[in-house]
Amino acid sequence: MTTKRARQIASSVAFSIVLTAAVFGAAEAVLRGIFAIRNARVESIALPYVIDDDYGPMPPWTDSFRVLERDPALLWRNRPSVQRRYVDIFSPVSTEDDRLALLRRFRPSLPDFVRRNPTWNVALNSEGFRSPEFELPKPRGRVRIVCLGDSWTFGANVDQHQSYPSQLQTLLRHAFPAADVEVLNLGVMGYSSFQGLELLRRRALALEPDAIVVGFAMNDGRVAGFRDQDVATGMASSPWLRAADLAARSVTVRMLRYLLLSTLHRPKSLEQHLRAANDRATDQRLVREHYVGTEAWTRVPLPDYEHNVTTMVELARNRGAGVVLLFNDLAADNPYRTELERVAAATGVPLVDSQRLIAEARRKLELDIERARGLTPEHAPRARANGDTVEVVLRVTANGEPVPRALFVAGAHPALGGLVPNRVALHDDGTHGDQRAGDGVWSYAVSLPPGTRLSYVYTNSGREGRWEGLDVPALRHLVVDAPTGRTIYEPIESFGKLYLQADAWHTDAGGYALVARAVFDTLTRNETLRARLSRPAGLRALHD
């Protein structure tokens, strides 16, 4: 090759590189400008939930609204000084595609059908926590309680003052008006006990707490395909991860990635979710195998969970802080609950079981609804089941939604339509188990063998065979636990609402109030802490 030819090739390559860089830079500038104009017009951020959180790729124009950012030691953390307003869309829609369309909607305004949905605001301090700025050193005489935990502690789905740490602070200040008491919220969404232990070591203990409330379990058992501890080690040493972070700063790269992954994403249908739930319900071996045999893919295996929580208790006590353990999850069959009970018993630390609190409150609410409507089981028709089955009556109200045709129930069981939506209608005409015609409670009676486990959903006036007129994005469940020949009237459910829940994973403000009250009662039974709270602030300052 001649020198002249080599120079021509080099010149062509250089020109191509410069042209590519210019085009890439122009695209980057244009996209950043478009996204900035779009996001400046956003007043509220839509949170459209889907079953099992199968959202697929997230559009890059929403990146600036994220609350979480990467952290090499904690995996992620809250972004500092963030202020956000969210619109919860845990509510009925026409079709499942409507939820993803909301998530990927480029228009900054929200459609009319979600404008009345509940909103909640988030304001984070300069360290990224949902509390006022921390005062260090702690003022003399102040009683400080630190709440460590996940999204339940953070207060997902509710305003600042409705999170359980904020409600706990209100209770303490009301009960001890002379006390200088504060409750700090160190909750981070998605955190496990691994991250909680790291956060305790790195930040919480330095805040000089008089008591620490530790609430982890819901995320530890997630079969996520990785262990938190392994990921943290890899993040600290991986050059590939650093390169990926560098590439992710480019809006153009993120946009291309989003377009590619969007074409590949195949979310499960509602039919597939119901079929999988039915398989798990009918084969309890699958339920056990959800935890047994998946240890390598669980974020924090049970033995590590026990170690993490026990270590948190020891570290807190070594600093002279009292400890309360908190089980925050809606699932009663979570094996981490049993492990937490063992830790509480072994360490002598009090345990507040939020799941049990909310389950009891929900049952009371359901009974109150029955009594208010005059539809308690003792006033219901006699059993019509044969000797081998139990008659189960499903009941649901429209919750203010218009019902052009009827409410329907759908599930994998043949008695619930065998996964054909809008086929099995409920009735408000005094038939099919309905107790009173025209009272707004829709009912459907089905005969089932004892021990049957069902997963089902409600729909509203859709076309038969099509998943239309959908309820909240969650599956409902029941277990037939009565003797044969009996009739069970299931609690009166509500289309478009789960009692004491803001979504499939979290309680609502009323549930957080129950948690705050239970933690308050537990803390104030601690004689040392109660004495500090009861002593006037000035005397405590002199004593300290």
Beta strands, E only, 247-397: 322-327, 351-353, 390-397
Check whether residue 86 and residue 36 sit in a common domain. no
Is the per-residue pLDDT at 290 higher than 60?
no
**For range 216-241, the mean pLDDT:** 80
pLDDT at 542: 45
What string of DSSP letters covers 483-498?
A: -TT-EEEEEEEETTB-
pLDDT, tens digit, for every residue of 116-149? 899 999 999 999 999 999 999 999 999 999 999 9
- Find out whether 218 and 150 touch, Cβ atoms under 8 Å: yes
pLDDT at 241: 56
Q: Quickly state the pLDDT bin for 114 (edges 50, 70, 90).
A: confident
Q: Quickly state the pLDDT bin for 178 (edges 50, 70, 90).
A: very high
Check whether residue 480 and residue 521 sit in a common domain. no
In a domain, 275, yes or no: no
Check whether residue 348 and residue 395 sit in a common domain. no
pLDDT at 155: 97
Check whether residue 105 and residue 134 sit in a common domain. yes
CA neighbours closer than 13 Å in the CB half-sphere of residue 59: 16
Check whether residue 226 and residue 80 sit in a common domain. yes
In a domain, 288, yes or no: no
pLDDT at 243: 59
Is the per-residue pLDDT at 101 higher than 50?
yes
Q: Quickly state the pLDDT bin for 283 (edges 50, 70, 90).
A: low
Percent of the chain with pLDDT over 90: 70
> Of 346, 453, 456, 342, whose CA–CA distance to 396 is shortest?
456
User: Domain containing 432: what range?
Assistant: 384-485
In a domain, 367, yes or no: no
* Mean pLDDT for the chain overall: 90
Global pTM? 0.91
Check whether residue 451 and residue 538 sit in a common domain. no
Domain count, the chain: 3
Check whether residue 4 and residue 112 sit in a common domain. no
Is the per-residue pLDDT at 175 higher than 50?
yes
pLDDT at 287: 47
237 burial via Cβ count (<10 Å: 0-12, 13-18, 19+) = exposed
Check whether residue 413 and residue 517 sit in a common domain. no
pLDDT, tens digit, for every residue of 435-491? 999 999 999 999 999 989 999 999 999 999 999 999 999 999 999 988 888 889 999
**For range 74-81, the mean pLDDT:** 96
In a domain, 141, yes or no: yes
Check whether residue 103 and residue 189 sit in a common domain. yes
